[in-house]
Amino acid sequence: MQNDVVAVTIKGVMPHSSSCAVFLGTDEKTFVISVDHFVGNAIQATLNGVKRERPLTHDLIGSLLLGFGAKLDHIVINDVNNGTFFARIILSMENELGKKIVELDARPSDSIVLALQQKRPIFAARAVYDAVEDMTEFLDRVLKQQAEEGEESAEE
C-alpha cells in the first residue's frame, strides 16, 4: 500500500459563499476539496476538539462502529472526476472467527470527519495526489492575510 497512497493531513478549513474549502496535503503539495458547510463545520469542530451536547451523524456512526466491534482503520481519497472526489472507508473487525476487512464507499468529507474523530490516518491515492492542482501557495497567501488581519484587529 505504501507506494500507491500518500499520507495527507488537514492543513486548513475555510468557509466561502456556498461551501467550505478543506485543504489537505503534505509538506510538498496541498490540494483542496469543497464540502458543504455542515461537514466543514464538523471537520473544524473536530480539529478544535469541540465536544457537543448531543451527537451529530458522524458521532452516531462512530458509536455504531464501536457497538459492532468494528474499527476504522484508515480512509483513502481514491478518485477524482471533474472536480468531484471519492473516498473509501476501511474498517476492520476481529472476533473469535477471525479478522474481517470491510471497504465502504463514502464521501471524502464524511470520511475525513470520521478519521479525525477516531484519530486514524487519511490517505490520498497516488494517482489522485499526482493529478490535483497544487494549492500550497494559495493557502500560504490566505493564511498570511488572515494573520495580518488578526494583528490589525488586535492593534485597534
Going by their DSSP bridges, the two strands 19-25 and 30-35 should be labelled as antiparallel
Closest by CA to 22, choosing from 4, 3, 46, is 46
Residue-by-residue pLDDT tens, the chain, 156 positions: 567 999 999 999 998 888 999 999 999 999 999 999 999 999 999 999 888 888 888 888 988 888 888 999 999 999 999 999 999 999 999 888 889 999 999 999 999 999 999 999 999 999 999 999 999 999 989 888 878 877 766 666
* One-character DSSP codes across 50-82: PPPSS--HHHHHHHHHHHTTEEEEEEEEEEEET
Closest by CA to 10, choosing from 146, 105, 139, 138, is 139
In CATH, the number for domain 5-155 is 3.10.690.10
Beta bridge partners of 21: 14, 34
Count of alpha carbons within 13 Å of 85, Cβ hemisphere only?
Answer: 29
Helix and strand totals (H; E) in the chain = 5, 7
Q: Residue 93: helix, strand or coil by DSSP? A: strand
Predicted confidence at residue 17, as pLDDT, reads 86
**Which regions of 30-155 does DSSP assign to beta strands (E)?**
30-35, 70-81, 84-95, 98-106, 122-125
Q: CA-to-CA distance for 105 and 88, rounded, in angstroms?
A: 5
